[in-house]
C-alpha cells in the first residue's frame, strides 16, 4: 500500500503519532512535541477516580456472579438430562407392562 498523496490523508501503515509528527514538521507548525509516555501517564492518573474504582469492583463482582451462574446452569443441564433419561426408562417400562 502506498502512502496517500493527499496532504490530509493518513497512511494506515504508519502510526498516527508518527504521521502527526511528520505533518507538524511539514507544515512547520509551532507545536511542541509531547512524549507519548508522559501523556499516557497523565491519562492513567486522571482515569483512576473513585467512579472507576467502583466500576472495577462491580465488574469483578459480576464476573464472580457469572462463574457461579455458569456452574448452576451446568448443574441444571445435568439434572435435566437425568430426568429425561428417567422419564424414557419409565415410559419404556410402562409400555412393556401394557404389552404384557
| Domain span at 95 | 51-100
Confidence of residue 1 (pLDDT cuts 50, 70, 90): very low
Say what the pLDDT of residue 17 is.
Answer: 72
Of 47, 65, 85, which closes a domain?
A: 47
Residues 42 and 8 both lie in one domain:
yes
Over residues 50-99, the pLDDT tens digits come to 788 889 999 999 999 999 999 999 999 999 999 999 999 999 999 999 98
Same-domain pairing of 94 and 61: yes
Q: Are residues 27 and 62 in the same domain?
A: no
Residues 27 and 55 in one domain: no
So what's the pLDDT on residue 86? 96
Give the pLDDT band of residue 10 (cuts 50, 70, 90): low
> Both 57 and 99 in a single domain?
yes
Complete DSSP assignment for 40-75: HHHHHHHH-SHHHHHHHHHHHHHHHHHHHHHHHHHH
pTM: 0.43
- Predicted local confidence at residue 94, as pLDDT: 94
Q: Given a cut of 80, is residue 30 above it in pLDDT?
A: no
Are 39 and 29 in contact by the 8 Å Cβ rule? The answer is no
| Structural domains of the chain, count | 2
Amino acid at each position: 500500500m502506498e502512502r496517500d498523496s493527499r496532504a490530509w490523508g493518513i497512511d494506515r501503515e504508519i502510526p498516527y503519532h508518527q504521521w502527526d509528527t511528520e505533518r507538524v514538521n511539514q507544515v512547520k507548525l509551532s507545536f511542541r512535541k509531547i512524549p507519548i509516555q508522559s501523556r499516557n501517564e497523565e491519562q492513567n492518573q486522571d482515569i483512576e477516580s473513585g467512579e472507576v474504582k467502583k466500576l472495577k469492583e462491580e465488574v469483578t463482582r459480576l464476573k464472580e456472579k457469572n462463574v457461579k451462574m455458569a456452574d448452576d446452569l451446568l448443574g441444571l443441564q445435568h439434572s435435566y438430562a437425568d430426568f429425561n433419561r428417567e422419564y424414557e426408562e419409565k415410559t419404556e417400562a410402562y409400555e412393556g407392562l401394557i404389552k404384557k
